[in-house]
A = this chain, B = another copy of it.
Amino acid sequence: MRYELYYWPGIEGRGEFVRLALEEAGAAYVDVARSAKSGGVDALMKYLDDGKIARPPFAPPFLKAGKLLIGQTANILFYLGQRERLAPRDEAGRLWANQLQLTIADFVDETHDTHHPIAGGLYYEDQKPEAKRRAAGFRKERMPKFLGYFDDVLERSTGNYLAGRKLTYPDLSLFLLVDGLRYAFPKAMRRLEKKIPRVIALRDRVAARPNITAYLTSDRWIGFNQQGIFRHYEELDG
């Protein structure tokens, strides 16, 4: 089966968490909105505007997998995890992977809101003082708390990965989170990294996987920029 991923072109955004899973699995997929051949952004908008879709997604990303149309990043990953062997096989393990992914999602939301604390529909320039205040608390309280938690999970793990001896999809997402934070908050991360050695080692382990390395050097990889979730504004980095 060839998956169809629907996400806004031009940014990694939440779509990147799905891309990493598809790439690690070596799955066949088309990144619909980024390809004129597959219909571009119009094909994505069709799913948001078409009143006939029985189970409409609220927002991208969403994934078409045969007849299934699956929305919400963590939900897509839950599905792909089972199907593409990127999740534990037992129920307890699957719930644990989902729990970790939802905690990552909470952290990603908070990261986004450092540059958009007032409204996602306004420009950063229209909420700069508020962003500065929010980012200060984020750097001081939230980054150490979340990243410290994942370091702790790795310490307690029975293997080198979050959920044990095998890589699962939250490992891929944590990799993206570390690189995104390095891009957005280089100074804060430099200070923090020595306190989270297990998270950094996991990040390197994921980056070294053949399918991930190949992806990051391909033209499928978008990279970070100033329109995504992870943005670098010097004044927000303390």
Q: A137 with B156: in contact, given A57-B99, A149-B58 (CB under 8 Å)?
A: no
List chain B residues, Cβ under 8 A from A41.
none
The answer to whether A74 has its CB under 8 Å from any CB of chain B is yes
**A118/B117 in contact, CB under 8 A:** yes
* Copies per assembly: 2
Q: Is A36 an interface residue (CB 8 A)?
A: no
Residue from A71, A119, A137, A141 having most chain B Cβ neighbours under 10 A: A119
What's the dominant secondary structure at chain A's contact region? helix
Q: Contacts A70-B95, A117-B117, A130-B117; is A75 near B102 (CB within 8 Å)? A: yes
- Closest-CB distance, A18 to chain B (whole angstroms): 14
Residue on B with the closest CB to A68? B92
Q: Does A53 contact B (CB under 8 A)?
A: yes
Q: A109-B109, A130-B118, A134-B117 are contacts. A79–B95 as well, Cβ < 8 Å?
A: yes
14 A-B pairs besides A117-B117, A121-B137 with CB distance below 8 A are A56-B153, A58-B106, A58-B146, A58-B149, A71-B103, A75-B98, A78-B98, A106-B109, A113-B113, A119-B133, A121-B141, A122-B137, A127-B133, A130-B130
Q: Give chain A's interface residues, CB within 8 Å of chain B.
A: 51, 53-58, 67-68, 70-72, 74-75, 78-79, 92, 95-96, 98-99, 102-103, 106, 109, 113, 117-119, 121-122, 127, 130, 133-134, 137, 141, 146, 149, 152-153, 156, 158
19 A-B contacts (beta carbon < 8 Å): A55-B99, A55-B156, A56-B149, A70-B95, A70-B99, A72-B102, A72-B103, A74-B102, A75-B98, A75-B99, A75-B102, A78-B95, A113-B113, A117-B130, A117-B134, A118-B130, A119-B141, A121-B141, A127-B133
